[in-house]
Amino acid sequence: MNPKITKLPPIWNIVNMVVLGTLALVCAFPIMHIFALSLSSATAANSGLVTVFPIDFTLQSYQFVIENPAFVRAFGISLMRVLVGTPISMILTVLVAYPLSRNRGEFRARDFFVWFFLITVLFSGGMIPYYMVIRQTGLIDSFWALVIPGALPVFNVILLVNFFRNIPKELEEAAAMDGATHWDILFRVLLPLSLPILATLTLFVAVGHWNSWFDGLLLMNSPDKYPLQSYLQTVIINPDPRFLSERDLALLQIISNRTTRAAQIFIAMIPILVVYPFLQRYFITGLKMGSVKG
Amino acid sequence: MAKTKTIKINREFPLYLMLLPAVILALVFSYGPMVGIVMAFQRVLPGKGLFGSPWIGWDNFKYVFQMPNFYQVIWNTVFIAGLKAIAGVIVPVSVALMLNNVTSKLFKRTVQTVVYLPHFLSWIILAGIFVDILSPSDGVVNLLLKAVGMQPIFFLGNDNVFPWTMVATDIWKSFGFGTIVYLAALTDIDPTLYEAATVDGANRWQQTWHITLPGIMGTIIMLTTLSLGNILNAGFDQIFNLYSPLVYRTGDIIDTLVYRTGIANYQYGVATAVGLFKSVVSLLLIGIAYKLAAKFADYRIF
């Protein structure tokens, strides 16, 4: 907000706020509607009475979902991939960003490696050769296929390289005078100064892991190894009777399919909603910190 | 001389060590699949390995370019991606300019918080939501349309409407993110420009037109040019989860075609050929886009 800018005439100010308010409502409404559906009774949901408030409030759908072992297992796999995959990605990001942030005098092969990693973003073998490689490496159907192949987020490396380069050189030079090695400079000088951007990148990697679904679908043969988003793909978006147990089918007769779908969608959103305040706070700072200056 | 060289190599050695794990990873999982591109020139037989299948030259490509729907699929891809790119500039820039006019901090922050959230939700979750609310029989959107006396619209099942549904839902998900980026660019505008304009008697609209808009033009040009490299990416995550055979005519894109040909129908050679075609064209477009962005917006990634 720029305090110096002239204010709008009052009537336009109101029009402006009404339009923006409507936009915000359009964004919020679908999410509120799904939340309301998940807390409504099956009859209310099916008769189209529910808008943004639950009707015949009930937690039955949530109870059904939480008692479904397949859902709980998929939720656990997603949690695991976030907890295991995020640290691996962050360690790799830091270890790659440091050498690439050196100038050519200090690291003669720097430009070669910049291109080595950049090429992986610019060009890819495509879906089928990728699938074949994963199969060759024996990772198909293994949890590690969700964590290892995509462990280096090159875009995050770029942000961190730019951030490192904006830290005053004098700090490193002083440390180097005292005989600091590259490891010392990275871990004792640069990283302690980079905590905010590291927090930002960590959050983004974690959200990325939580939201990934295609790798699970492509690389896992059995649905009991699916992370939550892939599991939801097969039960909500693209329902396949093979994946529904008899218990599921029987219970679905009693509880509306629609309200349980809504409950599953909402539960999958909860982790994002929990970290959302942090995402919002760090995003702009992270973006600005990693941008190029000079 | 020889001594300084050894010292230099010793000094550089830890840097190589740091890169080692990521280099191995990239070699296996990024460069490895590039070797697999040879499949585009083979009739891939299961169990024969990468170099055991017979070579068939450009036959896979000939087959692809003779597929009756291939040109339609390319058109669908460019059409959907192009509309998304255009709307993806207009909507966030407008919303950012409008938000910039809001004096109430609380109102501004509330709107920002709400419109930015969908950016972080996966297309699985959003597809689940949209399939429900856009359902022609009992979806809340069509119930609203019926309530005001309109005919229900088959947003996801009518192939004339489907591409527009994709553009609209994509904007719904992503405009908040764009808005935040443009708002950040707005705060970098020199405030003395507004002061000078006020002294000269420029009104609110003239200030927006002559100071604010030119002030963020650099960002607009940069993001627009860079989106050129994405013109063959119409949004696999979104379309794969929302389309159906009913809308293949207008909704099938290159990536979904690759998936169905390769993973569902096991035509590995053909699917790899389509993927390679896309990768090569995309690479060319990215190259052009970066050249243009560097020229017009002075953009560099490193």
Where helices occur in chain A by DSSP H, the ranges are 10-38, 42-46, 60-66, 69-101, 110-122, 127-136, 154-165, 169-177, 182-184, 191-193, 195-211, 214-219, 228-232, 246-254, 257-289
Give the best-scoring range by mean pLDDT among A231-240, B94-103, B121-130.
Answer: B121-130
A104: nearest CA in chain B?
A: B12
Query: Is B50 domain-assigned?
Result: no
Instruction: Report the pLDDT value the prediction gives residue B29, as an integer from 0 to 100.
Output: 96
Closest Cβ–Cβ partner in A213, A261, A292 for B132: A261
Chain A residues with CB-CB distance to B272 below 8 A: 125-126, 128-129
Give the model confidence (pLDDT) of A104-141 as tens digits: 888 999 999 999 999 999 899 888 999 989 998 999 99
CATH superfamily of A63-289: MetI-like (1.10.3720.10)
Segment 167-186 of chain A within 8 Å of chain B by CB: 181-183, 186
- What's B215-228 look like in SS3? HHHHHHHHHHHHHH
Phi (first) and psi of residue B137, to 5 degrees: -90, -55
Nearest CA in chain A to B19: A96
**B207 and A5: CB-CB below 8 Å?**
yes
A104, A128, A213: which to substitute to probe chain B, counting the most B Cβ within 10 Å?
A128
Q: Report pLDDT digits (tens) over A262-292.
A: 999 999 999 999 999 888 877 766 666 666 5
Query: Chain B within 8 Å of A264 (Cβ-Cβ)?
Result: yes
Task: Give helix then strand counts, H and E, for chain A.
Answer: 15, 0
Which segment, B5-9, B80-84, B227-231, is predicted with the most confidence on average? B80-84
Please report residues of A whose CB lies closer than 8 A to that of B176.
Answer: 27
**In a domain? residue B49:** no
A258 Cα distance to chain centroid: 26
Establish, for the pair of chains A and B, how many residue pairs have beta carbons separated by less than 8 Å.
277
Q: Is B288 on the interface with A (CB under 8 A)?
A: no
Mean pLDDT of B154-177: 95
For chain A, what is the mean pLDDT?
A: 88
The answer to the question of residue B120 being in a domain is yes
* Nearest Cα residue in chain B from A139: B29
CA distances from B14 to A13, A99, A218, B8 (A): 59, 9, 37, 11
Q: What is the distance in angstroms between the Cα of A63 and the nearest Cα belonging to chain B? A: 20
pLDDT score, position B222: 81
* B217 within domain boundaries: yes
Q: Is residue B184 predicted with pLDDT exceeding 90?
A: no
What is the rounded CA–CA span in Å between residue B105 and residue B109?
6
- List where CATH 1.10.3720.10 sits in chain A: 63-289
Residue A147's φ and ψ, nearest 5 degrees, are -115, -45
Residue B254: inside a domain? yes
Same domain, B93 and B32: no
Residue B289 within a domain: yes
- Cβ within 8 Å, pair A128-B263: yes
As a whole number of angstroms, the distance between CA B128 and CA A238 comes to: 10
B101 and B27 co-located in one domain: no
Residue A252 reports pLDDT greater than 70: no
Residues 6+ apart with CB under 8 A from A149: A130, A134, A139, A215, B25, B28, B29
Residues B26 and B118 reside in one and the same domain: no
Q: Name the one residue in this structure whose structure tokens are 């600005």.
A: A288
A5 close to B (CB below 8 A):
yes
The pLDDT assigned to B277 comes to 94
Query: Does the distance separating the beta carbons of B207 and A6 come in below 8 Å?
Result: yes
Using a CB-CB cut-off of 8 Å, the residues of chain B touching A3 are: 191
Residue A46 burial by CB count (10 A; 0-12/13-18/19+): exposed, middle or buried?
A: middle
Residues B88 and B189 in one domain: yes
Asked if B94 and B181 touch (Cβ cutoff 8 Å), the reply is no
Over range B76-101, report the average pLDDT: 94
Query: According to the model, what pLDDT value does residue A282 have?
Result: 76
Q: Which residues pair with B42 in a beta bridge?
A: B55
- Kindly indicate the confidence band of residue A3, based on its pLDDT and cuts at 50, 70 and 90: very low
For residues B142 and B13, membership in a common domain is answered with no
Confirm or reject contact between A38 and chain B (CB < 8 A). no
Residue A88: enclosing H or E segment and its boundaries?
helix A69-101
Contact B32 A261 (CB under 8 A): no
pLDDT of A14-40, one tens digit each?
999 999 999 999 999 999 999 999 999
Interface subset of B 231-270, CB within 8 angstroms of A: 236-237, 240-241, 255, 258-259, 262-263, 268
pLDDT number for residue A243: 58
* Record: contact B15-A99, CB cut-off 8 A: yes
One domain for residues B83 and B198? yes
Considering only CB atoms, which chain B residues are within 8 Å of A13?
101, 103
Q: Residues of B with CB below 8 A from A235's CB?
A: none
The per-residue pLDDT for range B208-220, each reduced to its tens digit, is: 888 988 888 888 8
Residue B259 in any domain: the answer is: yes
Q: At what angle do helices B162-186 and B123-133 cross, to 10 degrees?
A: 130
Mean pLDDT confidence for B69-93 = 95
A89 near A152, Cβ under 8 Å? yes
- Give chain A positions within 8 Å (CB) of B263: 127-128, 131, 218
pLDDT at residue B246, as a whole number: 93
A270 touches chain B (CB under 8 A): no
A111 neighbourhood in chain B, CB within 8 Å:
none
- Tokens linked to A83: 């907890």
Closest-CA residue of chain A to B268: A128
Q: How far is CA B228 from the centre of its chain?
A: 10
Query: How far, in Å, CA of B30 to CA of A127, rounded?
Result: 11
Q: Considering only alpha carbons, which residue of chain B is nearest residue A283?
A: B180
Contact A124 B30 (CB under 8 A): yes
Check residues B101 and B87 and name the one with the higher pLDDT. Answer: B87
What pLDDT does A249 receive? 63
**pLDDT class of A255 with cuts at 50, 70, 90:** low
- The predicted structure's pLDDT at residue A294: 33
* pLDDT value at B3 more than 60: no
Q: Is the pLDDT of residue B87 over 90?
A: yes
**Which has the closest alpha carbon to A237: A265, A266, A212, A206?**
A265
Give the domain range for residue B25: 2-41
Bridge partners, B55 (sequence order):
B42
Minimal CA separation from B257 to chain A, in Å? 11
For residue B73, pLDDT over 50 is answered with yes
The helix/strand/coil state of B42 is strand
**pLDDT single digits (tens) A58-106:** 998 999 899 989 999 999 999 999 999 999 999 999 999 999 999 988 8
Query: Does A26 sit within 8 Å of B262, measured CB to CB?
Result: no
Q: pLDDT tens-digit profile of B99-149? A: 988 888 899 999 999 999 999 999 999 999 999 999 998 899 999 999 999
> What is the helix, strand, coil percentage profile of chain A, to 5?
75, 0, 25
Q: How far apart are CA B259 and CA A44, in angstroms?
A: 39
For B28-67, what is each residue's pLDDT tens digit? 999 999 999 999 999 988 777 777 888 999 999 999 999 8
Segments in chain B forming alpha helices (H): 2-26, 32-35, 59-66, 70-100, 105-116, 123-133, 140-147, 162-186, 191-199, 204-207, 213-227, 236-242, 248-251, 254-259, 268-297
Structurally, how many domains does chain B consist of?
Answer: 2
Q: Inform me whether the C-beta atom of residue A10 falls under 8 Å from chain B C-beta atoms.
A: no
Q: Are residues B205 and B161 in the same domain?
A: yes
* Residues A185-223 pLDDT 10s: 999 999 999 988 898 899 999 999 999 999 999 999 888
Q: Do B194 and A21 touch (CB under 8 A)?
A: no
B32 and B99 both lie in a single domain: no
CB atoms within 10 A of CB B49: 11
Q: Which of B224, B38, B105 is nearest to A133 (CA)?
A: B38
Chain B, 137-176: which have a CB under 8 Å from a chain A CB? 138, 140, 143, 172, 176
Residues B71 and B36 in one domain: no
CATH number for the domain harbouring residue B191: 1.10.3720.10
Is A258 at the interface with chain B, CB within 8 A? yes
Q: Are B92 and B213 part of one and the same domain?
A: yes
* B9 and B71 assigned to the same domain: no
Residues of A in contact with B122 (CB under 8 A): 210-213, 229, 268
Same domain as B23, residue B116? no
- pLDDT at position A6 is 64
When computed from its CA atoms, the radius of gyration of chain A, rounded to whole angstroms, is 24
Q: Is B55 helix (H, G, I), strand (E, B) or coil?
A: strand
